[in-house]
Amino acid sequence: MRSAAALSRTREAGLAAAEAADAAGVALGKPAEVAGTPLAVVLATPDHAEAAGDLLAAVEARLEPQVLLGAIAQGVIGPGEEVEEGSAVVVWTARLPGGHIEPFRTWAVRPPEGGLAVAGWPDTRPGDLTLVLADPYSYPMPEVLGRLGDQRPGHLTVGGLVSGGAGRSRLLLDDRVHEDGAVGVVLRDVEVAPVVSQGCRPVGEPLTITAGERNRILTLGGEPALDRLRAVLAEADEADRLLLQRGGLHVGMVADEVRDDYDTGDFVVRGLLGVDPEQGSLSIGDLARVGHTVQFQVRDAASAHTDLVERLADVGPAAGGLLFSCNGRGHGLFGRRDHDVSVVESRLGVPVAGAFCAGEVGPVGRRSYVHGFTASLAVFGDNRGPFSHDDEGRGGA
């Protein structure tokens, strides 16, 4: 397997896509020199939303991929560079020897009588990985992934919620531009693995939810949840206490209750939305399920950097990667630009491409979730030897 990526800052959409596609195609090599099934991904900044069709035409003309996938995103990621502001187009292309690529377009409908109907999501087999780009305004990705987790435990989904903003969502699949729903590809018989870095570290001790109501944790280990939080704050060192008090506090939901002990990658991290001093409860960005184990988490730039490095430590050898990073990371979190792409490329030794997202999709344990403040990757093996990875996205061997 081989891949290549290139980024153009040219302001005219079609020309930028052509420049990036040409550069990526040269780096990839001529079709006769590289065996495999051609896949291309094109991602562009919001100023190109009205010219999305020009992006497709330019990439199709130059690379002639079997499948062309893409979207307009808040920002894009190219080799060595994260574009959080300004105009850019990035093209990633790969040939996947022996692999099967199945494109799909999916959408959701909420009937008047209630419930949710989802059309177009593909059938998958054990060992498949699904790449998905979804519109955050029209597609209920968390609910879809919840159903998939119930019906197909172990299926891996990687991608992101991408949009140029309200009214500027554009999803690209082959020769069509869509303004809602989601698009993606199922990768079968392809050496590819997910890596999910949520950028948090646990503080305090794991606790069991003993009373809960919707998204409110009422008690933890039989005591008011707020009292448990206050105890964590009291026991934290000064540096952690300041981080927790300044908005770095989150709640980690254990993904696999069978484990006896938990490490950083064993949690699905959710935001702490509020506290109720009268009831002593905590509101979180998920359902507060009685019997579920949780642990408070702290997030800062140092923790996010360390977690990403550790998740990538035993992955590879790699031939390419697609990176979906939260739009709350980047310069705002790390205080400098290009952090995630620099770490990923230095660890994998290959160029990557991707997008800044309003929600990142990736697995923890045997289920996939929509995350926040996360870097989620699809890492492609080079087919030249054993490919080390963790099938459940934690990034270990």
As a whole number, mean pLDDT of residues 214-218 equals: 96
State whether residue 55 is helix, strand or coil: helix
- Of 75-79, 241-245, 287-291, 361-365, the range with the lowest mean pLDDT is 241-245
Which residues have CB under 8 Å from 194's CB, separation 6+?
A: 129, 156, 158, 362, 363, 376, 377, 378, 379, 393
8 Å CB contact between 13 and 51: yes
- The single-letter DSSP state of residue 250 is E
Task: Of 228, 342, 358, 202, give the one whose Cα is nearest residue 280.
Answer: 228
Dihedral of alpha carbons 247, 248, 251, 253, sign: positive
User: What is the Cβ-side half-sphere exposure of residue 322, based on CA atoms within 13 angstroms?
Assistant: 30
pLDDT at 397: 28
Residue 235 vs residues 190, 199, 241: alpha-carbon distances, Å: 47, 22, 9
Residue for token pair 């491409």: 353
Which structure tokens are listed for 293? 């184990």
Cα–Cα dist 382/362, whole Å: 21
pLDDT at 163: 94
- Of 21-25, 145-149, 308-312, 388-392, the range with the lowest mean pLDDT is 388-392
Task: Decide if pLDDT at 259 tops 80.
Answer: no
Confidence band for 113, pLDDT divided at 50, 70 and 90: confident
Quote the Cα angle for 378-202-267, to 5°: 40
Give backbone dihedrals phi and psi of 133, rounded to 5 degrees, phi first.
-120, 120
CATH 2.40.30 fits 200-299, yes or no: yes
Cα–Cα dist 152/203, whole Å: 32
- The single-letter DSSP state of residue 50 is G
Q: CB atoms < 10 A from the CB of 289, how many?
A: 11
Burial bucket for residue 30 (CB in 10 Å: 0-12, 13-18, 19+): exposed
Element (H, E) at 339: helix 339-348
- Of 1-10, 130-139, 239-248, 342-351, the range with the lowest mean pLDDT is 239-248
Task: Decide if pLDDT at 393 tops 60.
Answer: no
- Ramachandran class of 223: left when φ > 0, alpha when ψ lies in -120 to 50, beta otherwise: beta
pLDDT at 47: 96
Cα–Cα dist 370/359, whole Å: 6
State whether residue 343 is helix, strand or coil: helix
Question: Is the pTM above the cut of 0.85?
Answer: yes
Task: Of 6, 175, 207, give the one whose Cα is nearest residue 89.
Answer: 6
8 Å CB contact between 377 and 309: no
Burial bucket for residue 102 (CB in 10 Å: 0-12, 13-18, 19+): middle
For the chain, give the longest Cα–Cα distance.
Answer: 70
Cα–Cα dist 365/384, whole Å: 27
What are the sequence ranges of the domains in the chain? 2-198+304-381, 200-299
